[in-house]
């Protein structure tokens, strides 16, 4: 039997919760007073309840519903931690979905397709200005990455296995036909749709070219990732397989616009790994989609709206898993010339030991000079 009861006022001060909140938590069974006076109905708390009250306050601060808070409070130790982690994974997923929706709304609501305040410079035709760089790094003996930046195409491939270098190179080469204006010509009434179709067709060609090379590898371990952006003249077509990445720098913020087709990413989505656990996981490079034997290879494809000033980055995991996103963002936001930006990014990976081949391509969407 507890001897020292504290009043609701004293308990509120000790726990940082308001009396009103304490009465609510009592009614909902989240935090029930140790004793309620049978005569006057006054609530009394035991000093040992302060710890739980502080936990409740923190979980509320995190944005948890009272139902979730109650579940965490009643769960045994490790189970409680799992509840909090699952909550946070859900919250991050919801936040990512809301971010995409907000970007979409911004696009739709920007008057007359103009950027910034109405009355700014009119939006003229845009062109792509880009640069690419690939280096072996400090640990690997050869470079199995392939990267390309041209007048309308941007591509990166990260080859693996005995035939990794030719596989990556063949995948990028299979996209080269897209550099000609004719590639989009068949669907002249809708060059965006035509561009996306042409990019999909080229990914199918790339898959066949890689299969051909992989057949010569007795171990069956040869394959590649492939991520590409194609400028249609008004939009960007995106196709992606594997764990190379595409990012967009817009208004100073960096957004990853591809999903890693990795096993650890699926585990994070399922709430079974946290993002930091995934980043340190020994199987973090295991791909669930790639151009490789017995592996699903359907690309994610999408048409993206662009805005003047948008900057795109394609990179292999030799950059994204070595250099922190904030440092990548800083380089992209401050180094104006694409050629210097890719040089600086590769340098950063090099400074961190460059354990893998590192490749990147940067493209700016800039207004074309008036003729």
Q: How far is the CB of 175 from Mn ion (least distance, A)?
A: 19
Token pair 């979905």: residue: 97
| Minimum CB distance to Mn ion smaller for 152 or for 284 | 284
Q: How far is the CB of 131 from Mn ion (least distance, A)?
A: 20
Asked if 243 touches Mn ion (CB under 5 A), the answer is no
Asked if 223 touches Mn ion (CB under 5 A), the answer is no
| Minimum CB distance to Mn ion smaller for 237 or for 358 | 358
| Minimum CB distance to Mn ion smaller for 126 or for 246 | 246
Q: How far is the CB of 225 from Mn ion (least distance, A)?
A: 8
Rounded to the nearest angstrom, the gap between the alpha carbon of residue 4 and the centroid of all alpha carbons in its chain is 53
| Minimum CB distance to Mn ion smaller for 4 or for 141 | 141
Q: How far is the CB of 84 from Mn ion (least distance, A)?
A: 33
Stretch that binds Mn ion, among 180-188, 252-260, 328-336, 355-363 (CB under 5 A): 355-363
Q: How far is the CB of 287 from Mn ion (least distance, A)?
A: 11
Q: How far is the CB of 319 from Mn ion (least distance, A)?
A: 9
Q: Mapped to the 3 state alphabet, what secondary structure does the chain carry?
A: CCCCCEEHHHHHHHHCCCHHHHHHHHHCCCCCCCEECCCCCCEEECHHHHHHHHHHHHHHHCCCCHHHHHHHHHCCHHHHHHHHHHHHHHHHHHHHHHHHHHHHHHHHHCHHHCCCCCCCCCCCCEEEEEEEEEECCCCCCCCCEEEEECCCEEEEEEEECCCHHHHHHHHHHCCHHHHCCHHHHCCCCCHHHHHHHHHHHHHHHHHHHHHHHHHCCCCCCCEECEEEEEECCCEEEEEEECCCEEEEEECCEEEECCCCCEHHHHHHHCCCCCHHHHHHCCCCCCECECEECCCECCCEEEEEECCCCCEEEEECHHHHCCCCHHHHHHHHHHCCCHHHHHHHHHHHHHHCCCCCCEEEEEEEEEECCCC
Q: How far is the CB of 173 from Mn ion (least distance, A)?
A: 19
Separation between Cα atoms, residue 91 and residue 93, nearest integer Å: 5
Q: How far is the CB of 161 from Mn ion (least distance, A)?
A: 12
Binding mask 64-83 for Mn ion (x = CB under 5 A): --------------------
CA angle 249, 325, 142 (to 5 degrees): 105
Residue 179 near residue 128, CB atoms below 8 Å: no
Q: How many residues bind Mn ion (CB under 5 A)?
A: 5
| Minimum CB distance to Mn ion smaller for 84 or for 288 | 288
| Minimum CB distance to Mn ion smaller for 83 or for 317 | 317
Separation between Cα atoms, residue 358 and residue 137, nearest integer Å: 6
| Minimum CB distance to Mn ion smaller for 235 or for 289 | 289
| Minimum CB distance to Mn ion smaller for 71 or for 140 | 140
Q: How far is the CB of 348 from Mn ion (least distance, A)?
A: 16
Which of the residues 281 through 320 are near Mn ion (CB under 5 A)? 316-318
Stretch that binds Mn ion, among 47-55, 81-89, 127-135, 157-165 (CB under 5 A): 157-165
Binder to Mn ion among 191, 356, 360, 365 (CB under 5 A)? 356
Token pair 């035939």: residue: 163
Stretch that binds Mn ion, among 67-75, 153-161, 328-336, 347-355 (CB under 5 A): 153-161
Which of the residues 314 through 333 are near Mn ion (CB under 5 A)? 316-318
| Minimum CB distance to Mn ion smaller for 19 or for 256 | 256
Binder to Mn ion among 68, 83, 158, 192 (CB under 5 A)? 158
- Which structure tokens are listed for 135? 């280096």
| Minimum CB distance to Mn ion smaller for 260 or for 356 | 356
Binding residues (CB under 5 A) for Mn ion: these are 158, 316-318, 356
């Amino acid at each position: 039997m507890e001897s020292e009861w504290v009043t609701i006022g004293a308990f509120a001060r000790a726990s940082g919760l308001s009396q009103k909140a304490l009465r609510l938590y009592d009614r909902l069974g989240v935090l029930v007073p140790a004793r309620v006076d049978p005569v006057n109905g006054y609530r009394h708390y035991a000093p040992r309840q302060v710890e739980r009250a502080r936990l409740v306050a923190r979980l509320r601060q995190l944005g948890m519903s009272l139902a979730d808070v109650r579940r965490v409070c009643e769960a045994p130790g490790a189970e409680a931690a799992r509840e909090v982690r699952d909550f946070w994974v859900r919250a991050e997923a919801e936040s990512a979905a809301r971010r995409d929706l907000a970007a979409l709304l911004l696009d739709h609501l920007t008057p007359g397709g103009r950027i910034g305040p109405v009355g700014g410079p009119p939006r003229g035709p845009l062109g792509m200005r880009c640069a690419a760089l690939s280096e072996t790094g400090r640990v690997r003996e050869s470079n199995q990455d392939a990267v390309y930046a041209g007048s309308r195409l941007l591509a990166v491939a990260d080859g693996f296995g005995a035939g990794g270098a030719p596989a990556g190179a063949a995948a990028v080469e299979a996209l080269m036909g897209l550099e000609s204006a004719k590639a989009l010509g068949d669907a002249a009434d809708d060059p965006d749709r035509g561009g996306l179709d042409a990019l999909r067709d080229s990914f199918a060609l790339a898959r066949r070219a890689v299969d051909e090379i992989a057949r010569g590898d007795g171990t069956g371990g040869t394959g590649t990732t492939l991520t590409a952006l194609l400028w249609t003249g008004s939009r960007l077509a995106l196709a992606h397989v594997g764990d190379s990445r595409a990012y967009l720098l817009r208004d100073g913020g960096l957004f990853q616009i591809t999903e890693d087709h990795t096993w650890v990413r699926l585990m994070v989505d399922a709430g079974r790994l946290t993002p930091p656990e995934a980043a340190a996981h020994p199987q973090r490079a295991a791909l669930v989609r790639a151009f490789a034997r017995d592996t699903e290879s359907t690309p994610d494809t999408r048409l993206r709206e662009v805005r003047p000033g948008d900057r795109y980055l394609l990179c292999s995991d030799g950059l994204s898993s070595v250099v922190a996103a904030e440092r990548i963002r800083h380089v992209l936001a401050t180094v104006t010339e694409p050629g210097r930006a890719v040089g600086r990014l590769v340098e950063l990976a090099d400074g961190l030991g460059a354990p893998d081949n590192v490749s990147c391509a940067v493209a700016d969407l800039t207004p074309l000079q008036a003729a």
